[in-house]
Structure 1
Amino acid sequence: MRFPDGIEAQPEVLRTSAAVVRGTLDHIAPLAEGAVVALVGIGASEHVARSAAPVWRSLGLRAFALSATELAGASGPVADVVVAMSESGRSSETVAALEATTGRRIAITNFTDSPLAALVDEVVALGSGPDSPVYTTGYTATLQAVGLLGEHWAGSGTDWSALPDQAARAVAEAKPVIDSVVERFDEARIIDVVGSGASLTTAGEGALLLREAARALTAAHETHNYLHGPMEPLDPSVACVVVGAGRELRLAREVSDLGCCTLLVTTETGVDADDRLALIRLPEPPSPLARSVLEIVPLQLLGWSLASRRGLHADGFRYEQDDIKLGNR
């Protein structure tokens, strides 16, 4: 699947994948009382884990996030339950992490016949179909699946059914805003992507996909850490994407006042765009992780617009590595 096709396909994929995931969850056993859960992944999946863990804790689950590489050489249990995420099921580091752990192990993957799925006790199947080389549908389907799994275990009843239509609206409404700022982002020497809470996954994945799709120099930052020094190099040669509705609102105004081309992605209604600050206002989603699904859409569109300006097709990688995926697909 081509990158722009993956962006457009997400509303329908989210709808289809949600039905598959819900069917899978019927066979996922409850957590034991007081069980500690480790969310594990690498790359885009690690970004999902970092945001999902605090959301799960807010639901009353005892959850924390680990990079798959942190488990290299581990022996014995790191948690009562390990939830490993890999869209392909072939990420070598994640498979190695599961091989090094004991206890209950669960995979979230699009491929139930993958090496990762073969290692675990239970599989949450994404059913999200083909994905683009720079992840689109697989990433957002994973976010949705992690949100649904956490709520399944917590016994909460959030209605996610509006999310596909909200994603379609986000795609349509973000396009003209991206068109209005892409030239200035193309001229920037670096793009900072900033967010906090559940939006931390948007900062991490957004910075990653801009590098992958458009070969842009980027950096991802947690909002409050950004205030403690990383802002110091800011000048008009830096562009910023600020994601969120808390301290991010003030931050977006501050960095735009420094002359940085700034894009604010938010659900907040009490803020307006101006000549220095572009605004994408998202619909209010049913949960923090559903909001993260919507937040990545403008970054995907920015990545594709930048790639197109630079004559790139976002259809593969210049520096393919032979040790990060197991087998062939």
Structure 2
Amino acid sequence: MKFPEGIAAQPAALATSLGSLKLPSYEGGLIALVGIGASEYAAQGAASAWRSTGLPAVAIPASAPPLDAAVTLLISESGRSAEVLAYKPSSRTIALTNFPGSPLAAAADELILLNSGPDSPVYTTGYTATLQALGALGDHWTAAASAGVSAPASTAAASNGAGSFGSGFDWTSLPALVSAALVAPLGAASAYLDEARVVDVVASGVSVATAGEGGLLLRESGRLHTAVHETRNYLHGPMEILDQQTTCVLIGDGREVQLAYDVLEYGTKVVLITTADVEPADNLAVIKLPEASNGLARAVVEMVVVQRLGWEVAQRRGLKVDGFRHRQSDTKVS
């Protein structure tokens, strides 16, 4: 699947994936979410979202030594990431992948199958389906933990309501939110990115997943020089480099909005991705998001916007985004 096709396919892919999700049980204890690359960023967002609802969850790079957790979620869309396969905790493991016949699916104790269909070389459908699955799983486990009972194995058909999994957020509404994000006006955002010497991508909370994967995707698609920062940390020194050759992509509704106006004073161009009511201005492009009450659902919507920006920059630069120039022989197993 080509990159723009993958972007456009996401509403349908998310609906298909949600309809077939089978969620494993949870008996309590520390949860480790393990991934590499895009999957590590998804893990970071999920860990933040889950902790905010009371689940004891931490994100662990697949390259780190195994953590002694009650359950380890091994995340790899392809199921062939060598680093994730090499991560071998002594406790229960659950694989989250799009391929039932993959090495990861065979190696783990249990399986969550995305069933999101084909993906583009620069991830689109697989990444957002991973976020959705993590959101549904976190909601299912949180609802049971809040009720003081163990979460049983579940399916989408058996969830509370159409697709709420006990959380109050209806995951069946996500494809419509993504469809809205696919047509949200981008204004001058892609021009600001294309003209920049360096692009800082900044977010906080669950949206750190968008900052991380967004910075990676803009490098892979538009070959932009990006740097990724957590919002509060960005205020403690990294901003010193800002000038007229820098563009900031700020994702969020809180401190990110004030930060947008702060950095404009340095002549820095800003792309603000937000649900807040902010008017565009000179050097400030505002991309208004549809509201999503769940943090990981919002991260899906945010990422769709960043994907569109990556494709627009690629088009401006005459790039096809049809694969990687630098393939490594030791990152995927056969």
CA distance in 2, matches of 1:59, 1:20: 25
CA distance in 2, matches of 1:68, 1:185: 31
Report the 3-state secondary structure (helix = DSSP H, G, I; strand = E; otherwise coil) of the residue aligned with 2:171.
coil
Structure 1 residue corresponding to 2:27, chosen from 32, 51, 60? 32
The 4+ residue runs of structure 1 with deviation greater than 4 A are: none
Cα pair 1:108 1:125 within 8 Å, conserved: yes
Q: Which amino acid aligns with 1:9?
A: A
Q: Does 1:60 align with 2:60?
A: no
> Residue 161 of structure 2 aligns with which residue?
none
> Residue 110 of structure 1 aligns with which residue?
98
> Where do 5+ consecutive residues of structure 1 fail to align?
none
How far has the Cα of 1:310 moved from its partner? 1.3
Deviations 1:185-227 (A, max 9, x none): 2121011100000100110001000111111110010000000
Structure 2 residue corresponding to 1:44, chosen from 38, 43, 47? 38
For residues 69-148 of structure 1, what are the structure 2 equivalents within 5 Å? 69-71=63-65, 74=66, 78-97=68-87, 100-148=88-136
Deviations 1:77-136 (A, max 9, x none): 621100011000000000001xx2111100110001111111111111101000000000
Report the 3-state secondary structure (helix = DSSP H, G, I; strand = E; otherwise coil) of the residue aligned with 1:38.
strand
Deviations 1:216-251 (A, max 9, x none): 110010000000000001001001100001100101
Q: Does 1:285 align with 2:296?
A: no
Cα pair 1:91 1:326 within 8 Å, conserved: yes
Cα pair 1:55 1:288 within 8 Å, conserved: yes
How far has the Cα of 1:184 moved from its partner? 2.8
Report the 3-state secondary structure (helix = DSSP H, G, I; strand = E; otherwise coil) of the residue aligned with 1:118.
helix
CA distance in 2, matches of 1:239, 1:297: 19
Q: Which amino acid aligns with 2:15?
A: R
How far has the Cα of 1:173 moved from its partner? 1.1
Deviations 1:154-187 (A, max 9, x none): 123321121101101111014x42xx23223212
Mean Cα displacement is larger for which, 52-61 or 39-48? 52-61
Structure 2 residue corresponding to 1:324, chosen from 309, 315, 331? 331
Q: Does 1:188 align with 2:199?
A: no
> Residue 231 of structure 1 aligns with which residue?
239
How far has the Cα of 1:286 moved from its partner? 3.2
CA distance in 2, matches of 1:59, 1:234: 36
Taking only aligned residues, the RMSD between alpha carbons, in angstroms, comes to 1.1
Cα pair 2:192 2:270 within 8 Å, conserved: no
Cα pair 1:159 1:286 within 8 Å, conserved: no
- TM-score normalised by length of structure 2: 0.91
> Residue 13 of structure 2 aligns with which residue?
13
Report the 3-state secondary structure (helix = DSSP H, G, I; strand = E; otherwise coil) of the residue aligned with 1:232.
helix
Q: Does 1:215 align with 2:223?
A: yes
CA distance in 1, matches of 2:235, 2:54: 30
Structure 2 residue corresponding to 1:305, chosen from 290, 309, 312? 312
- In the alignment of these two chains, the number of paired residues is 311
Q: Which amino acid aligns with 1:36?
A: L
Deviations 1:282-319 (A, max 9, x none): 11113000000000122111111111111111111111
CA distance in 2, matches of 1:266, 1:318: 33
Cα pair 1:160 1:286 within 8 Å, conserved: no
Cα pair 2:204 2:252 within 8 Å, conserved: yes
CA distance in 2, matches of 1:224, 1:234: 16
Report the 3-state secondary structure (helix = DSSP H, G, I; strand = E; otherwise coil) of the residue aligned with 1:240.
strand
Structure 1 residue corresponding to 2:261, chosen from 244, 247, 253? 253
CA distance in 2, matches of 1:17, 1:286: 20
Cα pair 1:234 1:260 within 8 Å, conserved: yes
Cα pair 1:266 1:281 within 8 Å, conserved: yes
Report the 3-state secondary structure (helix = DSSP H, G, I; strand = E; otherwise coil) of the residue aligned with 2:273.
strand
Deviations 1:7-56 (A, max 9, x none): 111111111111111xx12xx12x223x1100000000000111111211
CA distance in 1, matches of 2:99, 2:224: 31
Cα pair 1:112 1:125 within 8 Å, conserved: yes
Q: Which amino acid aligns with 1:65?
A: A
Q: Which amino acid aligns with 1:295?
A: E
> Where do 5+ consecutive residues of structure 2 fail to align?
144-165
Cα pair 1:257 1:276 within 8 Å, conserved: no
CA distance in 1, matches of 2:268, 2:94: 43
Q: Which amino acid aligns with 1:78?
A: D
CA distance in 2, matches of 1:209, 1:233: 22
